[in-house]
Chains A and B, each alone.
Chain A
Amino acid sequence: MSPEENKRANILCVISLACEVVPMFLNGILSALLTVNGTWYVGDAQAFMESIGSVLSGLLFIAGIVLLIIVRVKYPKNVFGKVLMWVYIVIGVIMLLLVIAAMVFLMVACNACFQELRNCPGFLF
């Protein structure tokens, strides 16, 4: 791989990393930009802005993944690309494990709650 190609791949990796990091601050940025006279949108407007924020965050996240895939397909020998890929995989696995742990915790908590409720006189289930 030529130095120019390596440089191009590194730039793509940096943009990919930025795409993954920016969504973490996107809601804060949106609220700062869209606060009117010190008041954040309320009701439907707030839900709308949160919705748009989440859609934009998702798009940026996907853009980051797409850029990394471009690097891995077109410049497979780039070291930054390889490292970044493993970083994303490790973060993805940790997130998945956290989600599963949260689901198990919720399930145990709900079962315990229903068990307690069943002991209450007048409970329907």
Chain B
Amino acid sequence: MGGAWTIRDFSIEPYPVAFLLSFAAGLGFVSLLLRRRGQTLNIIRCSLALLLVMTLYGARLYGVVASGFQKNLLTSGTSSLGGAMGLLLAVFLMGKICPGVRKDLWLACCMALPLMYGIAKTGCFLAGCCYGIPYGGPLAVSYQNSRIQIGPVFPVQLLESAVFLLIFVVGLRLYRGKNSGGTASWMMLLCAAAKFGLEFLRQEHVGRLITGNQWVCGAFFLAAVISLLREGKFKVRKTSFFV
């Protein structure tokens, strides 16, 4: 196993902790952004309730569908892409109920998505799920816990975590208060492209040309491009991005 890190059992299960933290951070961020953009507390509370329920439902439903309806909502795995779809569907529904919140909620959710994903992936890394392709180079990791014994493999979960937290920071830089048109679509485009690319480094991808997750990412990417084209946002900003 060379110089690979070895991850064993933890006294506290890391995945549920990271999962709860990601929800707390994501929904907290959405709540703050909605408050800053002048939404009322009642609307914020209702939005958060719907986001929470539909994200969880979407995350589990994706697992149910992927299993060919052989698992139920309690026994299926949790999918981040399913969660993202549930989140976006919640924005659509909330926009129908209260049109005044649609744009702000869409922006807040697109910005919060990489934050939630970045935090949740640290849980995957510590728990040993969603692991990478066989790899023996620097930072390779081996899992020797009660659930999985494998390795050395590429620490793709850590890389995903870092990339998505970076996308979140980029989103904060892109955000320009009330006049932040296009930010949501750019965030969706970056997330879809990053997830599509990083999927190649996952064990699940071995022996396949394109995985189901990559098809979904492709659809998100296309939707983001169409949205940017419609908004006319494919021109370089005059303000310097990194300054």
Of A1-9, A31-39, A42-50, the stretch lying at the interface with chain B is: A42-50
Inter-subunit contact B12/A107 (CB<8 Å): yes
With an 8 A cutoff between CB atoms, is A69 at the interface? yes
CB proximity of A12 to chain B, nearest CB, Å: 12
8 A Cβ contacts from B125-164 to A:
146
Q: Which chain B positions have C-beta within 8 A of A110?
A: 146
* Cα A64 to Cα B16 with chains together (Å): 26
* Cα A57 to Cα B61 with chains together (Å): 12
Inter-subunit contact B46/A69 (CB<8 Å): yes
With an 8 A cutoff between CB atoms, is A114 at the interface? yes
The interface centre, meaning the residue of A48, A51, A125 with most chain B CB atoms within 10 A of its CB, is A51
Q: Which chain B positions have C-beta within 8 A of A107?
A: 11-13
A: which residues have CB within 8 A of B? 44, 47-48, 50-55, 57-58, 61-62, 65-66, 69-70, 72-74, 76, 103, 107, 110-111, 114, 125
CB proximity of A47 to chain B, nearest CB, Å: 5
Of B70-78, B110-118, B194-202, the stretch lying at the interface with chain A is: B70-78
Determine the main DSSP class of B at the interface with A. helix
With an 8 A cutoff between CB atoms, is B64 at the interface? yes
With an 8 A cutoff between CB atoms, is B54 at the interface? yes
Inter-subunit contact A66/B97 (CB<8 Å): yes
CB proximity of A85 to chain B, nearest CB, Å: 9
Inter-subunit contact A62/B61 (CB<8 Å): no
* Cα A76 to Cα B146 with chains together (Å): 51
Inter-subunit contact B12/A48 (CB<8 Å): no
With an 8 A cutoff between CB atoms, is B93 at the interface? yes
Name the residue on B nearest A106 (C-beta).
B13
Give the residue of B16, B45, B146 whose beta carbon is less than 8 angstroms from that of A125. B146
Inter-subunit contact A65/B53 (CB<8 Å): yes
Name the residue on A nearest B101 (C-beta).
A73
With an 8 A cutoff between CB atoms, is B170 at the interface? no
